[in-house]
């Protein structure tokens, strides 16, 4: 078969010594194929950036960083990127994972039994803890970036906006996706801060909340409203949405979803320990605000809303500038 070097690739084409068997995903920046390594017979995933991405230095840097991180991390809960050999064009070779996206599972089942959701969260904690100890923050943790494997394990995928602690700070050019996804972004990221491992823990808190309640804790008519919501109000009581949730599990959710990162779990290992030892989690319901989803009123609401909206306005301005 002829090696195809054009931008447009189709199932059946070959790319160096890889046969593209099927297209499995298509995003604004790249296309993902299931492929076969013709040298070894191994099934892999091939991620090919679009031509416009190759011409954008910021997006190209993201692609290179994702590949580097995937090669450096070696953990069963993190998808592996294979070392680059000489290639005819830019693409990434990733291990093929037999499983389903957590998003697909939630779309189908809406919410998961607690006895199924908690082990998934513990496995995600384990992968995050390894990653954080190696100086990497995911920054875009969401059900779309978590594979649930056929054997019950998980794989974190898509490190396109991940951050290495020793890397230089990225410029804000082309930053539209660099702050994460509105439903899962941490409050400090909404405010334009870089975020750290506690931002990943916040995102995991929202994912676990969604798994056990069938919804995310913050909603709104548009992405800006969703992001602003977490700056102004506390999450809804998970137990009010699912009475099977224990006070201890709800306490764990609240600790992961603390607005101030200093009050969250300091490490994913701490969160995993409490998930596995819920009987030892102390619950002080008096310390929680009595009306968890009560909105502020009057002049105070206007004041807080103005303060909260300031970073969002800055976000929109930078987004518009980045698209020009």
- The torsion angles phi and psi of 99, rounded to 5 degrees, stand at 170, -165
In three state form, how does the secondary structure of the chain look?
A: CCECCCCCCCCCCEECCEEEEEEEEECCCEEEEEEEECCCCCEEEEEEECHHHHCCHHHHHHHHHHHHHHHHCCCCCECCECCCCCCCCCCEEEECCCEEEHHHHHHHHCCCCHHHHHHHHHHHHHHHHHHHHCCEECCCCCHHHEEEECCCCEEECCCCCCEECCCCCCCCCCCCCCCCCCCCCCHHHHCCCCCCHHHHHHHHHHHHHHHHHCCCCCCCCCHHHHHHHHHHCCCCCHHHHCCCCCHHHHHHHHHHCCCCHHHCCCCHHHHHHHHHCHHHCCCCHHHCCCCCCCCCCHHHHHHHHHHHHHHHHHHHHHHHHHHC
- Told to judge if 98 belongs to the known catalytic residues of this protein, a careful annotator would answer no
Residue with tokens 């996706």: 177
Q: Among the options 13, 16, 140, 200, which is catalytic?
A: 140
- What residues are labeled active site? 140
């Amino acid at each position: 078969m002829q090696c195809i070097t054009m931008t447009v690739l189709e199932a059946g084409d070959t790319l160096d010594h890889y046969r593209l068997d099927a297209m499995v995903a298509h995003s604004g920046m790249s296309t993902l194929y299931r492929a076969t390594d013709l040298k070894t017979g191994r099934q892999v995933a091939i991620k090919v950036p679009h031509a416009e991405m190759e011409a954008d230095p910021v997006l190209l840097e993201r692609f290179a960083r994702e590949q580097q991180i995937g090669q450096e991390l070696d953990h069963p809960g993190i998808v592996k990127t294979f070392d680059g050999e000489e290639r005819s064009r830019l693409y990434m070779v990733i291990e093929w994972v037999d499983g389903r996206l957590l998003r697909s599972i939630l779309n189908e089942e809406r919410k998961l039994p607690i006895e199924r959701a908690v082990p998934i969260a513990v496995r995600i904690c384990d992968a995050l803890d390894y990653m954080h100890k190696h100086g990497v923050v995911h920054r875009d943790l969401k059900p779309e970036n978590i594979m649930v494997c056929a054997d019950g394990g998980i794989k974190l995928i898509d490190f396109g906006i991940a951050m290495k602690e020793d890397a230089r700070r990225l410029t804000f050019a082309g930053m539209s996706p660099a702050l994460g996804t509105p439903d899962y972004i941490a409050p400090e990221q909404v405010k334009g801060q870089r975020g750290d491992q506690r931002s990943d823990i916040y995102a995991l808190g929202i994912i676990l909340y969604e798994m056990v309640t069938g919804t995310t804790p913050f909603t709104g008519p548009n992405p800006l409203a969703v992001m602003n919501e977490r700056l102004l109000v506390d999450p809804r009581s998970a137990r009010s949405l699912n009475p099977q949730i224990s006070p201890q599990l709800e306490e764990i959710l609240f600790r992961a979803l603390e607005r101030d990162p200093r009050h969250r779990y300091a490490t994913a290992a701490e969160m995993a320990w409490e998930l596995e030892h819920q009987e030892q989690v102390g619950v002080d319901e008096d310390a929680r605000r009595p009306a968890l989803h009560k909105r502020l009123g009057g002049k105070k609401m206007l004041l807080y809303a103005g303060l909260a909206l300031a970073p969002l306005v800055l976000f929109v301005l930078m987004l518009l500038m980045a698209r020009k």
